[in-house]
Structure 1
Amino acid sequence: MGITTNLLDGTIAVVTMNFPPVNALPVQGWYDVAEAVRAAAETHHARVVVLRAEGRGFNAGVDIKQMQRTAGFDALIGANRGCHAAFKAVYECPVPVIAAVHGFCLGGGVGLVGNSDTVVASDDAYFGVPEVDRGALGAATHLARLVPQHLMRTLYFTSRTIRAADLVQHGSVLEVVPRGKLDDAALTVAREIAAKDPRVIRAAKEALNGIDPVDVNRSYRFEQGFTFELNLAGVADEHRDEFVDNARKPRA
Structure 2
Amino acid sequence: MGVSTSRPQPAVAVVTVSYPPVNALPVQGWRDLAEAVRAAGRDPEVRCVVLAAEGRGFNAGVDIKEVQRDPGRTAIIGANRGCYEAFAAVYECEVPVVAAVQGHCLGGGIGLVGNADAIVASEDAYFGLPELDRGALGAATHLARLVPQHLMRTLYYTSRTVTAAELHRHGSVWEVVPRDQLADTALRLAGEMATKDGALIRMAKAAINGIDPVDVRRSYRFEQGFTFEANLSGLADRIRDTNSMNGSGKEGGDSRG
Q: TM-score category by the smaller chain?
A: over 0.9
Aligned to 1:204: 204
Describe how 1:159-178 pairs up with structure 2 within 5 A: 159-178=159-178
| Structure 2 residue runs without a partner (length 5+) | 250-257
Aligned to 2:192: 192
Aligned to 1:144: 144
Describe how 1:108-147 pairs up with structure 2 within 5 A: 108-147=108-147
TM-score, normalization: structure 1? 0.95
Aligned to 1:233: 233
State whether residues 101 and 121 of structure 2, in contact with CA within 8 Å, keep that contact through their aligned partners in structure 1.
Answer: yes
Aligned-partner SS, 2:212 = coil
Higher relative contact order (CA 8 A, sep 6+): 2
State whether residues 167 and 173 of structure 1, in contact with CA within 8 Å, keep that contact through their aligned partners in structure 2.
Answer: yes
**Aligned partners of 2:30, 2:223: CA distance in 1, in Å?**
18
Runs of 4+ in 1 over 4 A off after TM superposition: 242-248
State whether residues 105 and 127 of structure 1, in contact with CA within 8 Å, keep that contact through their aligned partners in structure 2.
Answer: yes
Q: CA deviation at 1:44?
A: 6.5
The question of 1:96 aligning with 2:96 is answered yes
Aligned to 2:253: none
Aligned to 1:221: 221
Aligned-partner SS, 2:208 = helix
TM-score, normalization: structure 2? 0.93
| Structure 1 residue runs without a partner (length 5+) | none
The structure-2 alpha-carbon separation of the partners of 1:44 and 1:203, relative to structure 1 and needing over 3 Å to count, comes to closer
**Aligned partners of 1:166, 1:9: CA distance in 2, in Å?**
31
Aligned-partner SS, 1:182 = helix
Aligned to 2:35: 35
**Aligned partners of 1:79, 1:189: CA distance in 2, in Å?**
31
Root-mean-square deviation over aligned CA pairs: 1.4
State whether residues 130 and 160 of structure 1, in contact with CA within 8 Å, keep that contact through their aligned partners in structure 2.
Answer: yes
Percent identity, aligned pairs only?
Answer: 69
State whether residues 68 and 240 of structure 1, in contact with CA within 8 Å, keep that contact through their aligned partners in structure 2.
Answer: no
**Aligned partners of 1:209, 1:195: CA distance in 2, in Å?**
21
Aligned to 1:9: 9
**Aligned partners of 2:138, 2:45: CA distance in 1, in Å?**
32
Give the total of aligned pairs. Answer: 248
Q: CA deviation at 1:230?
A: 1.3
State whether residues 44 and 198 of structure 2, in contact with CA within 8 Å, keep that contact through their aligned partners in structure 1.
Answer: no
Aligned to 2:180: 180
Aligned-partner SS, 1:169 = helix
Aligned to 1:57: 57
The structure-2 alpha-carbon separation of the partners of 1:147 and 1:122, relative to structure 1 and needing over 3 Å to count, comes to same
**Aligned partners of 2:75, 2:171: CA distance in 1, in Å?**
36
State whether residues 64 and 240 of structure 1, in contact with CA within 8 Å, keep that contact through their aligned partners in structure 2.
Answer: no
Q: Which amino acid aligns with 2:30?
A: W
